[in-house]
Chains A and B, each alone.
Chain A
Amino acid sequence: MDARVTQGAAAGGQTSGDIICVHQLSLRYGRGAGAVLALSDISFRVGDGEFIAVVGPSGCGKSTLLKILAGLLPQTTGEASLKGSPIEGPRRDIGVVFQSPVLFPWRTVLGNVMLPADVQRLDKHDMRQRALDLIKLVGLSGFEARYPRELSGGMQQRVGIVRALIHDPAILLMDEPFGALDAMTRESMNVELQRIWMERRKTVLFITHSTAEAVYLADRVIVMTARPGKIGDAFDVDLPRPRKLDVMNTEAFGAYVKRVRAALNPGGRGID
């Protein structure tokens, strides 16, 4: 129904060195009359080391998109590939961070961070050292032997993030990782995530429903609209890094946020 968004979105990225490539992806839940189109004609590319934010209202299918990329859900039509090979199931070169920290209460902080290494039977000694370095990177040194229930929400989510980095994945998929945190913790986590990303240079696909968070973190923002979930707009964020929180008060930042809002509410109303 809306020709203006269907193609254009795919144009943004490079053609070579793409890490994530999604082409005319759609996903339908159910069959027949009761079927729901969750994703419709999604196309985009993500280059190596890029930080992409996908922003959209709840129910726009952004979490579904992430599940497809993580190999947890097969798409109905279209193609999705990582590093040139089509996604056919979960892969070892991906790290996923979920909305809740999803820690195992019977494992210590170190044990939780080591989970991917245990599952993938990586060298215990090397991984342990790597885990300790990562725990230090997020400022949790001294908490290695603690259990999740002894940590605050922000600390738990930091454990969740470094767990996703332990097996050195090429791609980090993050599904509203800070959605459950209070506003102040969330801002400091954003600063921290930027720092981690600048240090480790992973390709990140970051899903959020916060426009400010998306603009602050991303090299490129993809805006999704709901029912069916499709790409409304996609643009590069040209702000110098490292970005301080102050950047949110600048005119340029405001303009980007405005652009996201415009794509979320075409026509200036709530529903399109």
Chain B
Amino acid sequence: MRRGPIAFVLRLAFIALLLCAWEWAVGFFKTPAYIVPAPSAIAYAMYNGIASNLYVSHIGATISETLLGFLFGCALAFMLGTVVALSRTVEYYLYPIIIMFQAMPKVALVPLILVWFGLGLTSKVVSAALVAFFPLMVNTIVGLRSADEDRVNLMRSLSASRWQIFRMLQLPNAMPYIFAGLEIAMIFALIGAIVAELISSEKGLGMLMQSMSFTMDVAGQFSILFILSILGLVLNGVVTLVRRRVLFWDTSRDADANEANATKEGVL
């Protein structure tokens, strides 16, 4: 397929056309605004929300919950993943528990987390961390174990210590897997934070959506959905940017990114 500037304009035109069709259809069928609002109404709600400064603090709350959850979840996932990857004994005893947790829909734990950690920031961070944890842990284990046998033999033939093999070979070798895991974990952390906010919260975009749902402010809800989508893209983009910097040597980058996307879709 050819991709020139014309194609790009056509792409934008296509989106504009869809929005126009939507706007027209809402007017033509006289759809009530509490079922499907017109794009213009959504844009107006968005403008109001931002201009009145209502959205900003909630966006800030959701971002900090997501980032903190991502940080804690990933740190823990990396450490546990490393221990499991390096020790067969630890793997043997932890494996059944890991499998059980992995099969469980993590968001189903969120009501419990709210009971344990309250309605404030902590419960949102724990929820985000929990959901972000597994994709990174699994990728860390797979990555650390994927070191090529010849390379391991080379290190061993040089009398490298266990720690040197880890530091000089296994860890750098695992980086593409770890970054694929981080990209997924970032999106998952956002999901974890939003779900916790939806259930019960004092702040955040999820809480805002929930309150709009009570007042039948569907246009407002649509505007939040749009913000969440942008937020997801930006957070994911930050990880991708860091990945490009760190993994300049990884030629399979594109293939890995596709794989990561496939995993995202598969898990959700």
On chain A, the residues within 8 Å of B153 by CB distance are 67, 70, 72, 96, 98
A90 touches B157 (CB 8 A): yes
Write out the residue numbers on chain A whose beta carbons fall within 8 Å of the beta carbon of B168. 104, 115, 118-119
Residue B250 is within 8 A (CB to CB) of chain A in the complex: yes
Please tell me if A102 contacts chain B, counting CB pairs below 8 Å: yes
Q: Point out the residues of chain A lying under 8 angstroms from B159, CB to CB.
A: 89-92, 119-120
**Chain B residues whose C-beta falls within 8 Å of the C-beta of A149 in the assembled complex:** 249, 251
In whole angstroms, what is the CA distance A69 to B183 when docked?
44
Name B159's closest neighbour in chain A (CB-CB). Answer: A90
B104 at the interface (CB under 8 A from A): no
Please name the residue on chain B nearest to A160 by beta carbon.
Answer: B154
Q: What is the bound-complex CA distance between A104 and B151, given in angstroms? A: 8
Contact mask A111-140 → B, CB, 8 Å, 1/0?
A: 000011011100000000000000000000
Is residue B172 contacting chain A, with contact meaning CB distance below 8 A? yes
- A residues 176-221 near B (Cβ < 8 Å) are none
Question: Which residues in chain B, 208-222, are within 8 Å of chain A measured between CB atoms?
Answer: none
Q: How far is the CB of A167 from chain B (nearest CB, A)?
A: 8
Q: Which of B74-89 contact A (CB under 8 A)?
A: none
Q: Tell me whether A100 is interfacial, beta carbon within 8 Å.
A: yes
Q: Tell me if B157 and A105 are in contact (CB < 8 A).
A: no
Query: Please, which residues of chain A bring their CB within 8 A of the CB of B151?
Result: 102, 104
B150–A98 touching, CB < 8 Å: yes
- Among the listed B156, B158, B175, B250, which residue makes an inter-chain contact with A120, where contact means beta carbons less than 8 Å apart? B158
Question: Taking the nearest CB of chain B, how far is it from the CB of A4, in angstroms?
Answer: 35
Q: What is the CB-to-nearest-CB distance from B164 to chain A, in angstroms, rounded to a whole number?
A: 6
The interface residues of chain B lying within 8 Å CB-to-CB of A91 are 159
Tell whether B155 is near chain A: CB-to-CB under 8 Å.
yes
Q: A104-B169, A119-B168, A120-B159 are in contact. Are A98 and B154 (CB under 8 A)?
A: yes
* A60 CB within 8 Å of chain B: no
Q: B148: CB under 8 A from chain A?
A: yes
Residues of B within 8 A of A89 (CB): 159
Q: How far is the CA of A92 from the CA of B175 in the complex (A)?
A: 29
> Which residues in B have their C-beta under 8 angstroms from that of A119?
155, 158-160, 164, 168
Q: Which chain B residue lies CB-closest to A116?
A: B158
Q: Which residue of B lies closest to A100 (CB)?
A: B150
List chain A residues, Cβ under 8 A from B148: 102
A71 beta carbon closer than 8 Å to chain B: yes
Q: Does A264 contact B (CB under 8 A)?
A: no
Digitize B227-254: 1 where CB-to-A-CB distance is under 8 Å, 0 elsewhere.
Answer: 0000000000000000000000111000
Q: How far is the CA of A116 from the CA of B159 in the complex (A)?
A: 9
Give the contacts of B138-162 with A (CB-CB under 8 A): 148, 150-151, 153-160
Q: How far is the CB of A201 from chain B (nearest CB, A)?
A: 21
**In the complex, A94→B169 CA distance in Å?**
20
User: What 0/1 readout, one digit per residue, does chain A (246-263) give for beta carbons within 8 Å of chain B?
Assistant: 000000000000000000
How many whole Å from B115's CB to the nearest CB in chain A? 46
| Distance (whole angstroms) from the CB of A69 to the closest CB of chain B | 10
* Contact in complex: A90, B249 (CB < 8 Å): no
State whether A102 and B158 are in contact (beta carbons under 8 Å apart), knowing that A119-B164, A149-B251 are contacts in the complex: no
Q: Are A104 and B158 in contact (CB-based, < 8 A)?
A: no
Give the nearest-CB partner of A167 in chain B: B158
Q: Evaluate whether A70 and B157 lie within 8 angstroms (CB atoms) in the complex, with A102-B148, A102-B150, A105-B251 already known.
A: yes
Closest chain-A Cβ to B133's Cβ sits at a distance in Å of 27
Report how far A89 CA is from B128 CA in the complex, Å. Answer: 47
B255 → A minimal CB distance (Å) = 14
Distance of A100 Cα from B168 Cα, bound (Å): 19
Check A104/B157 contact, CB under 8 A, given A119-B164, A149-B249, A149-B251: no
| A 145-161 contacts with B by CB, 8 A | 147, 149
Looking at the complex, which one of A72, A100, A106 makes contact with B157 (CB distance below 8 Å)?
A: A72
Quick one: which of A50-100 are within 8 Å of B by CB? 67, 70-72, 89-92, 94, 96, 98-100
A contact residues around B175 at 8 Å (CB): 106
Complexed CA–CA distance, A72 and B175 (Å): 27
Q: Are A102 and B250 in contact (CB under 8 A)?
A: no
| A102 and B249 form a contact (CB under 8 A) | no
Q: A72-B157, A99-B150, A115-B168 are in contact. List 16 more A-B contacts (CB 8 A).
A: A70-B153, A72-B153, A91-B159, A92-B159, A94-B157, A96-B157, A98-B153, A100-B150, A102-B150, A102-B151, A105-B250, A106-B249, A115-B154, A116-B158, A119-B164, A120-B159
Cross-chain pairs A/B with CB under 8 angstroms, 23 sampled: A70-B157, A71-B157, A72-B156, A89-B159, A90-B157, A90-B159, A91-B159, A96-B153, A96-B157, A98-B153, A100-B150, A102-B148, A102-B150, A104-B151, A104-B168, A105-B249, A105-B251, A119-B158, A119-B164, A119-B168, A120-B158, A147-B249, A149-B251
Closest 8 CB pairs of A and B: A96-B157, A119-B158, A106-B249, A90-B159, A105-B249, A119-B160, A102-B150, A106-B172
